[in-house]
Amino acid sequence: MAVSGSTDFNIDAAEVIQEAYERCGLQEVTGKDLRTAVRSMNLIFAEWANRGLNLWTVTLGTQTTTASDSDYTLGTDIVDVLEVSLRDSNNVDQSLTRISRSDYHLLPTKSTEGKPAQFYFERTTTPTLFLYPTPDLSTYTVRYYYLKRLDDIDLPSDDPNVSFRFLPCLVAGLAYYIAMKKAPDRVQLLKAVYDEEFERARQEDRDRASFSAVPGRSYFNNY
């Protein structure tokens, strides 16, 4: 059996739009249709960010501390911070514990200086990382893994910043979005398809670790 031998399949935004329109039973795609479909695709990316579906964009960031400074402005492309560690001058890493806004607000002495052990991440238009205690040295390096915002689709010729495994979810989502405006008779069907594809993508979009079962000591003590 002959096979292609290639593993580089990808489609640009225009092809995603065409596939979505075909699922809606629509063939003619005008210039206005392309513009509104591009807008809908970017709204889908925002929806995915809110629902936590973009683990393939996890990126490592670093920030050098400044003594007596507790807060650090991070990049505006950050959706959320997943984990944070502190590396000292001996290259020893220590995991920091995430606390809520309320817990950080209730800290009585935020100006206390020492080696940071906790952090609060403020998810605003200007993402900010707060460390507690306030760093007492300028030799710490904060290392943080974060979800990076997906690149916008500006033109139909742009390639979606999406892993190929999630193209079916993107197409299904766009078909559903378009149907709400142009094919109301297919909304229910296409929503069901999108929900199914999203759930499949969500199950796939998760961190994996080796499974290790450690029997309880008491079990063996019985024999």
Domain boundaries along the sequence of the chain: 13-54+151-204, 57-148
- At residue 3, the pLDDT reads 86
Angle, CA of 54, 21 and 39, to the nearest 5°: 50
- At residue 37, the pLDDT reads 96
pTM of the model: 0.80
Cα 159 to Cα 48, 93, 151, 164, distances in angstroms = 17, 37, 10, 11
Tokens matching residue 27: 């063939």
- What's the rounded Cα separation, in Å, for the pair 133 and 62? 18
- At residue 1, the pLDDT reads 75
Successive 10-residue mean pLDDT values, the chain, 223 residues: 84 95 92 94 94 87 97 95 96 97 94 96 95 97 95 94 92 97 96 95 71 45 46
- At residue 54, the pLDDT reads 82
Length of the chain, please? 223
User: Who contacts 103 (Cβ-Cβ below 8 Å, separation ≥6)?
Assistant: 120
